[in-house]
Structure 1
Amino acid sequence: MALVVPLRVLRPREEFVSDVASPPYDVLSRDEAFIMASGNPLSFLRVEKSEIDLSSGIDMTDDRIFETARKNLQRMLDEGVLIQEATPCFYIYSQQMGDYVQYGITAGVSVAEYEAGRIRKHEQTRPDKETERTRHIAAVGAQTGLVFVIYRSLPAIDDMLAMTVRERPIYDFTSDDGIIHRVWTLKKDKDIVFLKEVFASVDTLYIADGHHRAAAAAAVCGMKKKQNPADRGDEPYHFIMATLFPDNQLRILDYNRVVRHLNGRTQDEFLNKIKINFQITPDFTQRKPAVMHTFGMYLRRQWFRLDAKRDILDCADPMRLFDVAILQDHLLEPVLGIHDPRTDHRIDFVGGVRGMDELEKMVDSGDYAVAFSLYPTTLAQLMDVADAGLIMPPKSTWFEPKLRSGIFVHRID
């Protein structure tokens, strides 16, 4: 089974792409998506988060949500907003945020290789979220969002990317958040053969973001195989739509924490408790840690530096030495009573792109009592964890910019 293949995608006509492209479904609440799509009938949020076209109190498991998504996608096809690519292609998808630019290759990656462990994950999926996305793909008959995949950089592909992006892109637009998105098509036979052969030599791919999308695509593939006794193994549902980025172009941003209250403690009691496991230094003007095992903490309009003490770093389990695990195991859980950060409503997570000023603003508003800034997880750590078949601590990584939905749609029916 080929690891990476070109896809015959649906995509917007050039004049519609900026109206169609939307943030991924899982970074917006229903209300945020409703506001963003308001007045824009072409927004792909009407497919990705179709509940915005239904009553606000609708049960998120209601079949009408998925039927509405299917109808909205079909409407965009019928109205000529989306077009079907004539032949399978690879695409170069670039995103520019300020001076930072990342270039990826949009393609299909093999479900069989994903299930065999050649496409590796580092995050535990939630059954309810996986089921929701599985139902969405099955009902719509398409994968509507991209999986963010990493490969160890290859000079041959780097050179091809550098040559191709000198040409005129098929898309060049700026989204509402200021990110510049550009897309180039690779449709020549020689380019397709070259990329398939080069990727065939790659031992491993890594899912950076989109674990639920990937798991759902694999689940739908399993359903389709059972329904198709003549299955050949190369039908569209055998491939997961993804954008593959070389590791030398990516960065993981810090993924910070804000907590609503101090678990019944006064600020002084709280500080005395955390002194057990951390050295506290006031007036941390840097605000953002520069090395591992160091944290910034914003409390009572002041920044503190927290350095993990040596005894809590004397741990045989390398997974517990991730900064997110140190903070969770030695402060958030024992001091603030947050046992599961994925489900506890007292804690929220703030991607590093929003900066330290945002942490201060959230605490100063009175809605939160304390904020913590963390040193970012590294790509090497992510890949090492995935290679070992382990799972990262919850909320370990934040990638920015996010891949837009609606630029590419992979039909599986």
Structure 2
Amino acid sequence: MAQVLPFRAIRPHQKAAADVAALPYDVYSRAEAKEAVKGHPLSFLNIDRPETQFPDDHDMYGKDVYAKANEMLEEERAEGIFIQDEQPCYYVYELTMDGRAQSGLVALSSIDDYLNGVCKKHENTVAKKEADRIHHVDTTSAQTGPIFLAYRAQEAIDALIAKAKKQTPIYDFTADDGVIHRVWIIKEEADIKALKDAFAQVPCTYIADGHHRAASAVKVGLKRRKEHPDYTGNEEFNYFLSVLFPDNQLKILDYNRFVKDLNGLDQDTFMNKLSKIFTITPSDQSHPTHKGQVKMYLDHRWYALDVKDAIAKVRDNDPVDRLDVALLQDEVLTPILGIKDPRTDERIHFVGGIRGLGELVKDVDQLPGSVAFAMYPTQISELLAVADAKRLMPPKSTWFEPKLRSGLFIHAFER
């Protein structure tokens, strides 16, 4: 069963919360991050991406860069920008985007749950990206970006979170992108016990977003265990910062594909090969309407590609094969377009659904001979099924919105 514990969050003073809260560190390139912090000295992105404090040619992975993150965090704590609750608490974090709200519980999850498969994953991680966060977490002795976890909804937990939301929120602000953020604190001992007991009935949790943050937090925890061979398991470094959402509140957006060329094929040959897999019909610029349908933009035209029944039937026997992103990879990207490893092939890039289909049109129109594929979103039930089967999704299978803000909750642990 899942260990989900309260903690003493380091968090911004109420008046500073809106200025501190920042989008996750990994949604920005280096140049974008540096631009984003201009005129925003309290934005947590300054600490999450400390290379923004150095010249552009400075090694962004240098030890002095991570030391700067620690220095800024300590300075802001000393200045009273951040406070720390005196007793362990849970926190309810509600995000509302386009009128749709989702409420998660901010808490600590166990690194042992991650290691033992109670906290399930569905993606591989990249060593270089892990190393960056390992150095950041290890140098600051703090987890600054929460891992986005999901669990199968439980009525008892829903009721306790609904009760907490009847109080006055400690944070209530609208970010520049229009997303509304509200936070409530749960500090009554009876409510904390009830939530802890309710989560003790949850058999497993799932990493929805933040695989690199989770892997990094776990590896730093294991490092601290080696440094403290007499550890008991109760130390803070045995846990990582998380926000847990019930599966029935989550929405996954499409994650689309742009390919720079047709792998040496002329358009007629390419379309002929596609016709063996899909029924192809002209379409307008609109999202796929159902599973098994992909929209394609090629040579200033949109097409609907509907997978043929015989192929869909064969693929339906496996939780990974039945994913639309796997269908496209296995039947089109690899055998026809020659993209064997989408993680490393420079001919493909991925466009999050939040950018809209217009981004695909722009990309293709700017590069004659290219093609784009608009995907039907992966469903949360599919994500859970893949993780339950201890399998991995193709890269860039899910795009979650809204994004959890960094800086609202920090989990510090022993050096």
For the aligned pair, the TM-score class normalised by the smaller chain equals over 0.9
Name the residue aligned to 1:43: 43
Equivalent residues in 2 for 1:334-349, closer than 5 Å: 334-349=335-350
Contact 1:259 1:368 in 2 (8 A): no
Quote the offset at 1:258 in angstroms: 1.5
Would you say 1:52 and 2:52 are equivalent positions?
Answer: yes
Q: Which whole-Å CA distance do the structure 2 matches of 1:99 and 1:354 have between them?
A: 18
Name the residue aligned to 1:244: 244
Would you say 1:197 and 2:184 are equivalent positions?
Answer: no
Would you say 1:92 and 2:92 are equivalent positions?
Answer: yes
Q: Which whole-Å CA distance do the structure 1 matches of 2:365 and 2:261 have between them?
A: 13
Quote the offset at 1:48 in angstroms: 0.9
Q: Which whole-Å CA distance do the structure 1 matches of 2:247 and 2:194 have between them?
A: 20
Q: Which whole-Å CA distance do the structure 1 matches of 2:26 and 2:172 have between them?
A: 24
Name the residue aligned to 1:305: 304
Name the residue aligned to 1:351: 352
Q: Which whole-Å CA distance do the structure 2 matches of 1:318 and 1:244 have between them?
A: 23
Q: Which region of structure 1 is more displaced relative to structure 2, 390-399 or 158-167?
A: 158-167
| Shift in alpha-carbon separation, 1:368–1:73, aligned structure 2, 3 A | farther
Q: Which whole-Å CA distance do the structure 1 matches of 2:211 and 2:135 have between them?
A: 15
User: CA offsets, 1:162-182, max 9 Å, x none?
Assistant: 222232211111112111111
Quote the offset at 1:96 in angstroms: 0.6
Which residues of structure 2 form unaligned runs of 5+?
none
Q: Which whole-Å CA distance do the structure 2 matches of 1:242 and 1:88 have between them?
A: 15
Equivalent residues in 2 for 1:64-83, closer than 5 Å: 64-83=64-83
What TM-score, normalized by structure 2, do the two folds share?
0.95
User: CA offsets, 1:72-120, max 9 Å, x none?
Assistant: 1112112211111111110000101011111000000111122111111
User: CA offsets, 1:37-56, max 9 Å, x none?
Assistant: 11111111111111111121
Name the residue aligned to 2:291: 292
Q: State the number of aligned residues.
A: 412
Quote the offset at 1:252 in angstroms: 1.3
SS at match of 1:321: coil
Q: Which whole-Å CA distance do the structure 1 matches of 2:250 and 2:157 have between them?
A: 15
Q: Which whole-Å CA distance do the structure 2 matches of 1:182 and 1:96 have between them?
A: 9
Contact 1:6 1:90 in 2 (8 A): yes
Quote the offset at 1:272 in angstroms: 2.9
Equivalent residues in 2 for 1:258-337, closer than 5 Å: 258-282=258-282, 284-285=283-284, 287-313=286-312, 314-315=314-315, 317-337=318-338
Counterpart residue type for residue 391 of structure 2? L
SS at match of 1:183: strand
Q: Which whole-Å CA distance do the structure 2 matches of 1:276 and 1:212 have between them?
A: 38
Quote the offset at 1:385 in angstroms: 1.2
Q: Which region of structure 1 is more displaced relative to structure 2, 50-59 or 19-28?
A: 50-59
SS at match of 1:221: helix
Q: Which region of structure 1 is more displaced relative to structure 2, 204-213 or 309-318?
A: 309-318
User: CA offsets, 1:182-224, max 9 Å, x none?
Assistant: 1110011111111101001111111101111111111111111
Which residues of structure 1 form unaligned runs of 5+?
none
Counterpart residue type for residue 298 of structure 1? Y
Quote the offset at 1:270 in angstroms: 2.9
Name the residue aligned to 1:369: 370
Identity %, equivalent residues: 48
Contact 1:258 1:368 in 2 (8 A): no
SS at match of 2:148: strand
Contact 1:138 1:220 in 2 (8 A): yes
RMSD: 1.8
Q: Which region of structure 1 is more displaced relative to structure 2, 298-307 or 179-188?
A: 298-307
